[in-house]
């Protein structure tokens, strides 16, 4: 087993992929999540191999200097060690970024207070919580917020249905919601049933291999990525 969170391990894995697949292909796709994706992207940008000297370089400027001094006709792009490899973020990487996006949007709204209630009280603890460095704890907080707010929103709707003798349904909820004037209620409903629910359904869809739900939840969440400038 390899520790995925080191340049040495990621380089070993990428090299093995190149050796295994690229002999018979022009290029190959590799998907990975979190730190391996970041480390792999950096490695691909700065790893070169001189085909004339058969020497490896891990610094672009050093390789450019070598080419200029010794092999002026060498094509730098064709000398990339992992040039035949296309690294794409896996679904886990997207899930992590979705969680970070929710924390970035909602930290000062209510997640900071929720974190304080859950024991994140020191400055350092709150900073780690705000950055969603522990994805599992971040998802626990998001689920608490999702189900807590959903219960409160549905409770108000059920009160309306009881008073007006209306049968509760999804369609009736949105019909009722269209007449709501309270801005806090509108914001909470949009956040809960758009972004928090999209993240929750995306996470469930990945684990159940539900491609249609994966696509739908990503499309629903996409505006938040762009508004927060989190397009990577």
Q: Above pLDDT 70, what percent of the chain?
A: 96
* pLDDT tens-digit readout, 6-29: 888 888 888 888 888 867 778 888
* pLDDT tens-digit readout, 27-84: 888 888 778 888 888 888 888 887 777 778 787 777 778 777 777 667 777 778 888 8
pLDDT reading at 199 higher than 90: yes
Phi-psi region of 122 (alpha: psi -120 to 50; beta: other; left: phi over 0): beta
Contacting residues for 190 by C-beta, under 8 A, at least 6 apart: none
Q: Is the pTM higher than 0.85?
A: no
Identify the weakest region by mean pLDDT among 48-52, 132-136, 149-153, 157-161: 48-52
Distance set, CA 217 to CA 52, 98, 145, 150 (Å): 49, 11, 18, 18
């Amino acid at each position: 087993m390899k520790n995925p969170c080191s340049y040495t391990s990621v380089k070993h894995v990428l090299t093995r992929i190149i050796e295994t697949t690229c002999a018979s292909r022009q290029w190959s796709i590799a998907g990975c999540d979190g730190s391996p994706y970041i480390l792999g992207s950096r490695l691909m940008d700065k790893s070169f191999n001189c085909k004339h000297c058969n020497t490896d370089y891990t610094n672009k400027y050093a390789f450019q200097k070598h080419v200029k001094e010794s092999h002026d006709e060498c094509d730098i792009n064709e000398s990339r060690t992992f040039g035949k490899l296309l690294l794409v973020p896996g679904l886990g990487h997207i899930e992590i970024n979705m969680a970070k996006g929710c924390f970035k949007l909602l930290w000062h709204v209510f997640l900071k207070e929720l974190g304080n209630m859950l024991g994140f009280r020191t400055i350092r603890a709150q900073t780690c919580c705000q950055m969603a460095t522990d994805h599992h704890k971040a998802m626990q907080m998001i689920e608490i917020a999702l189900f807590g707010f959903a219960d409160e929103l549905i409770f108000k709707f059920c009160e309306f249905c009881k008073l007006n003798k209306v049968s509760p349904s999804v369609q009736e909820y949105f019909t009722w919601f269209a007449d709501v004037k309270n801005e806090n209620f509108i914001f909470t409903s949009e956040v809960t049933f758009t972004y928090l629910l999209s993240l929750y359904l995306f996470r469930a869809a990945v684990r159940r291999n539900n491609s249609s739900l994966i696509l739908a939840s990503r499309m629903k969440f996409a505006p938040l990525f762009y508004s927060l400038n989190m397009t990577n």
